[in-house]
């Protein structure tokens, strides 16, 4: 690199000058960053809310508003602040009349390239998973992304059985991903041929999340009705 | 530019320097990490190009304004501080404009901090030139980078997904070349563009001009 042609006349810069310059630049930079942060705070929050609503509305058709809740050992309460240990966050979607249309929660498991995070819809009446959306993934385009483009795979999530067992402690049958073409039971997911690892990640993520969430949530479903 | 004895460039030449003659992607081959990684679609490529242009403009302006007060011993620290500031600003701006774009670009927004085009401009140009020239040069480089990214992203999206800016081009019967949106596709397309550029350059009979000594980070 060329020798800097900046103040070539000075033999050595005194330490105080360096600290002063760095301090000055840091102050200017600090002001710029804080201004940008404050200025965008509102629209970022609004964008995040819209993105969440869009994701939930996609898996729960007919919904028009979303509320965040936390299900813990002490019951179900509206989400606010941090999620306590052992509790699970979920979303309740209501239609315009304020009737509960369905619930949605996130599941995550390691896929082929990175963690696959999905949002699934749970229908309390059918006691089944009724929709699947992808929150984030870095799977191979054209292969792993079939989990949200492949119509046959998405059919698995029209009424995927997620009934609780008699003791209400866990699912009666854990959700399993079967090799393509070997699905037999309503709690099984038929994997996509050629994208088994990603399909399995979807099933594992849903199973882990549902096993944790539903026992905490189902006994308190009444509190969510008409929760406008 | 700053080569001794060379005639200073006019404002227009300064602007066009980065767009064509010293195009960061096709001539200097700088900033390859974001170039190859985010150019999977035209939209991503243009967003990344604009974000980088914003950081280039902001940081070169500030570096150029402060060029006489920054002691040479701490200049790199100062440049990085200034660049990191504008990257943070652009990070928030993109989140405010579109979360979809933010998620698509991922870590590559933050990685603009270490984009060698920007530090290269601050060190090799903005620290020696008055604000107007520095900003024009940075604008040219930014536009050149955006065009370069678009050239890659457009081709990769057309071949790899059969779309451009998300609009389907060939109808449902088109079988996309998935490899084009995978990492190897980035190298294929970049290689093809570099071939084209070098072929165009070698066809010009003009004597070869010495290339300015840029740091290839």
Give the Cα separation of B147 and B8 in Å (integer). 26
Residue A224 has pLDDT above 60, yes or no: yes
* Average pLDDT rounded to a whole number, residues A138-151: 80
Residue A139's pLDDT is 80
* Average pLDDT rounded to a whole number, residues A153-180: 83
- Tell whether B99 is within 8 A of chain A (Cβ): yes
pLDDT-based confidence at residue B163 (cuts at 50, 70, 90):
confident
The contacts of residue A71 (CB under 8 Å, 6+ apart) are A87, A88, A90, A213, A216, A217, A220
Q: Does the beta-carbon distance from B176 to A18 stay under 8 Å? A: no
pLDDT-based confidence at residue B206 (cuts at 50, 70, 90):
low
Give the Cα separation of A225 and A124 in Å (integer). 11
Residue A56's pLDDT is 87
Residue A100's pLDDT is 84
Residue that has been written with the tokens 């150029």 in this structure: B64
Question: Which has more confidence, A30 or A10?
Answer: A30
Instruction: Give the DSSP H/E element, type plus range, for residue A177.
Output: strand A176-178
Lowest-confidence segment of B97-111, B129-143, B199-213 by average pLDDT: B199-213
| pLDDT, tens only, B48-62 | 999 999 999 999 999
Give the Cα separation of A196 and A4 in Å (integer). 57
Q: Are A187 and A162 in contact (CB under 8 A)?
A: yes
Kindly report the average pLDDT of chain A as a whole number. 83
Q: Does the beta-carbon distance from B92 to A44 stay under 8 Å? A: yes
Residues of chain B with C-beta less than 8 angstroms from the C-beta of A5: 2, 128
Identify the closest residue of chain A to B178 by CA–CA distance.
A142
Interface of A with B in 21-40 (CB under 8 A): 21-22, 24-26, 28-29, 32-33, 36-37, 39-40
Work out the percent of chain A whose per-residue pLDDT is above 70: 93
Give the Cα separation of B53 and B61 in Å (integer). 12
| pLDDT, tens only, A151-162 | 888 888 888 888
Residue B3's pLDDT is 53
* Average pLDDT rounded to a whole number, residues A130-154: 82
- CA trace torsion A128, A160, A57, A138 (10° rounding): 140
Residue A27 has pLDDT above 90, yes or no: yes
Residue that has been written with the tokens 């710029």 in this structure: A32
Tell me the C-alpha to C-alpha distance, in Å, between residue B11 and each of A42, B1, B8, B16: 40, 11, 9, 9
Residue B136 has pLDDT above 70, yes or no: yes
Residue to mutate among A21, A43, A45, A46, with most B CBs inside 10 A, is A21
Entry pTM = 0.76
| B67 vs A6, A28, A143: nearest CB | A6
* Average pLDDT rounded to a whole number, residues A59-84: 79
Residues of chain B with C-beta less than 8 angstroms from the C-beta of A140: 182
pLDDT-based confidence at residue B1 (cuts at 50, 70, 90):
very low
| pLDDT, tens only, B110-120 | 889 988 899 99
Residue B150's pLDDT is 93
Residue B191's pLDDT is 92
Count chain A–chain B contacts defined by CB atoms under 8 A. 95
Kindly report the average pLDDT of chain B as a whole number. 85
Q: Given CA atoms B51, B52, B56, B57 in this order, what sign does their dihedral have?
A: negative
Q: Where are the beta strands (DSSP E) in chain B?
A: 163-164, 167-168
Q: Are B36 and B158 in contact (CB under 8 A)?
A: no
Give the Cα separation of B217 and B190 in Å (integer). 18
pLDDT-based confidence at residue B212 (cuts at 50, 70, 90):
low
* Average pLDDT rounded to a whole number, residues A128-146: 82
Lowest-confidence segment of A155-159, A167-171, A195-199, B115-119 by average pLDDT: A167-171
Identify the closest residue of chain A to B103 by CA–CA distance.
A136
Residue B211's pLDDT is 57
Work out the percent of chain A whose per-residue pLDDT is above 90: 10
Helix axis angle, B75-97 relative to B116-124, nearest 10°? 130
Lowest-confidence segment of A75-84, A203-212, B63-72, B104-113 by average pLDDT: A75-84
Residue B215's pLDDT is 52
Residue A101's pLDDT is 84
Instruction: Give the DSSP H/E element, type plus range, for residue A34.
Output: helix A15-59
With vertex at residue B60, the alpha carbon angle to CA A12 and CA B41, rounded to the nearest 5 degrees, is: 140
Residue B2's pLDDT is 47
Residues of chain B with C-beta less than 8 angstroms from the C-beta of A36: 88-89, 92-93
Give the Cα separation of B47 and B149 in Å (integer). 9
pLDDT-based confidence at residue A228 (cuts at 50, 70, 90):
very low
Instruction: Give the closest residue to B55 by CA, choosing from B121, B128, B118.
Output: B118
């Amino acid at each position: 690199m060329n020798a800097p042609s900046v103040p070539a006349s000075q033999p050595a810069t005194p330490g105080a000058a360096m600290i002063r310059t760095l301090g000055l630049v840091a102050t200017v930079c600090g002001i710029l960053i804080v201004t940008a942060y404050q200025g965008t705070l509102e629209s970022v929050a609004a964008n995040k809310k819209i993105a969440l609503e869009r994701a939930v509305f996609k898996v729960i058709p007919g919904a028009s508003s979303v509320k965040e809740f936390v299900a813990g050992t002490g019951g179900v309460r509206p989400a606010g602040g941090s999620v306590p240990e052992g509790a699970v966050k979920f979303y309740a979607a209501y239609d315009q009349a304020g009737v509960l249309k369905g619930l949605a929660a996130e599941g995550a498991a390691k896929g082929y390239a990175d963690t696959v995070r999905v949002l699934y819809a749970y229908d309390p009446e059918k006691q089944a998973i009724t929709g699947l959306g992808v929150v984030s993934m870095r799977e191979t385009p054209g292969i792993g992304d079939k989990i949200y483009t492949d119509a046959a795979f998405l059919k698995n999530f029209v009424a995927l059985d997620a009934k609780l067992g008699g003791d209400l402690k866990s699912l009666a049958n854990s959700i399993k991903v079967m090799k393509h073409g070997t699905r037999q039971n309503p709690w099984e997911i038929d994997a996509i041929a050629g994208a088994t690892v990603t399909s399995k990640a979807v099933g594992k993520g849903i199973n882990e999340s549902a096993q944790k969430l539903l026992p905490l949530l189902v006994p308190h479903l009444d509190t969510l009705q008409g929760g406008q | 530019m700053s080569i001794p004895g060379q005639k200073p460039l006019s404002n227009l030449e300064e602007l066009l320097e980065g767009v064509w003659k010293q195009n960061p992607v096709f001539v200097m081959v700088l900033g390859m990490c974001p170039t190859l990684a985010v150019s999977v679609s035209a939209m991503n490529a243009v967003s990344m190009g604009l974000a980088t242009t914003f950081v280039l403009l902001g940081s070169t302006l500030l570096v150029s304004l402060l060029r006489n007060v920054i002691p040479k011993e701490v200049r790199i620290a100062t440049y990085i501080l200034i660049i990191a500031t504008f990257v943070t600003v652009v990070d928030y701006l993109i989140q405010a404009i579109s979360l979809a774009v933010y998620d698509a670009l991922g870590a590559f927004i933050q990685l603009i901090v270490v984009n060698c085009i920007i530090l290269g401009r601050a060190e090799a140009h903005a620290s020696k030139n008055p604000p107007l020239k520095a900003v024009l040069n940075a604008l040219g480089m930014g536009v050149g980078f955006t065009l370069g990214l678009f050239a890659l992203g457009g081709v990769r999206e057309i071949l790899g997904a059969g779309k451009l800016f998300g609009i389907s081009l060939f109808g449902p019967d088109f079988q996309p070349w998935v490899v084009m949106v995978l990492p190897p596709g980035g190298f294929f397309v970049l290689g093809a563009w570099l071939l084209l550029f070098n072929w165009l350059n070698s066809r010009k009979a003009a004597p070869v001009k010495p290339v300015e000594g840029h740091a290839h980070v």
